[in-house]
Amino acid sequence: MKAILLACALLMTAGRAGALLDDTLEFLRTRAVVTAPDELDRMALEAVVHAVDPLATLGDAVAPTNSRVVTECLAEGILYARVAGVETGTYADVVAALAMPSKTNCVGAILDFRGAAGVGYVDAARIGGIFAGTPRDLITVYDAHGALRQSYAAAADAGVCPAAPVMVLVDGRTHGAAEVLAAVLKRQPGIMLVGETTAGDWRVRETLSLPGRNTATVATGYVAPTGASAGMPVGGVEPHVAVTDQQVDLPSVPARRFDGRPMSAEAQADRELMVRVGKDPALLRATEILLGLKALGTRRSAAPAAAPVAAEDRAAADAPPAETDGGVSTQGGADAAPEDK
């Protein structure tokens, strides 16, 4: 039965349904075995909507989603912010989270957009503007025919960003406003994306109110970073550092030095941090990168082209010469590798 309804839906989207659709539905109502009349109506609606947008959703009307950002300052002064979705209010929450490093001596920030979605394109552009340097359009929405519908610009405070390095975690479930924000952030200097390629769903959807408090959320256009190639983007956003979800077995971290003496406070903090993030491969990799940058005394300057030295290699960072590697400036001296663990 769904196949018949889908065929009618395809005809309707092509403008040729007319009496055929009415006759088919009437036949199914009077002759087909249907548990309830409203079931057939809903099946027809579902077939029509999914013919237009395979990822469209039908359901009861729901209240708008509020921003949800949970922050935590991990050991070694690393800020972690879990962003569940990019909605109205997310910009203010992210700004508050990024203000923590200056207050708590955090040496880097991790923004976790894994599984995040949302429709807060205004907030997405404002978050991207924190790192953009100058106020300008960052996100553009087009209608179904490719005509410009609306542009979203960075806020007037664009460029007011933390000096500490920023890691952005993404995965195959990152979509909607969170996905286009990841694309914008990838273009900004001093930010590294870690994880998996994002969902690649660039459609912009609107929610239509239907009788009986039902809603249908269908695609009416697409979104892209401003200045991207013409047409809807193809594929997801690829991270700078690809990390699969496959869990890795970490070597045990000793509680004492090899000579039997107690570890330093910093070494103990490192140990506690590895225990905290060790079961999350992407978070672990982002943490290792930040610890390596900390050992090199790095500040945000430009986007790194490759992953910096991992945490276990920090001992090799004693008094390195000043240089610029892939846009990340490094300096030795006071912030060189910590004492032997």
Q: Are 129 and 155 in contact (CB under 8 A)?
A: yes
| CA gyration radius, the chain | 25
Domain boundaries defined on the chain: 2-52, 69-242, 265-330
* Coil, strand or helix at 296: coil
- Which DSSP state fits 266? H
Q: In angstroms, how far is CA 180 from the centroid of its own chain?
A: 8
Q: How far is CA 321 from CA 299, 301, 311, 313, in A?
A: 15, 17, 19, 16
pLDDT tens-digit profile, the chain (341 residues): 444 444 454 444 444 445 666 676 676 667 666 556 667 667 777 777 777 777 777 776 555 566 689 988 887 788 999 999 999 999 999 988 887 655 556 788 999 999 999 989 999 999 999 888 778 899 999 998 889 999 999 876 655 566 678 999 999 999 999 999 999 999 888 899 999 999 999 998 888 887 666 788 888 899 999 988 777 888 999 999 999 876 555 555 566 666 667 777 777 777 777 778 878 999 999 998 988 888 787 665 544 444 443 444 433 433 344 443 433 333 333 333 344 44
Q: Which residue bears the tokens 């991992």?
A: 310
- Which DSSP state fits 30? H
| Domain 69-242 of CATH type 3.40.190.10 | no
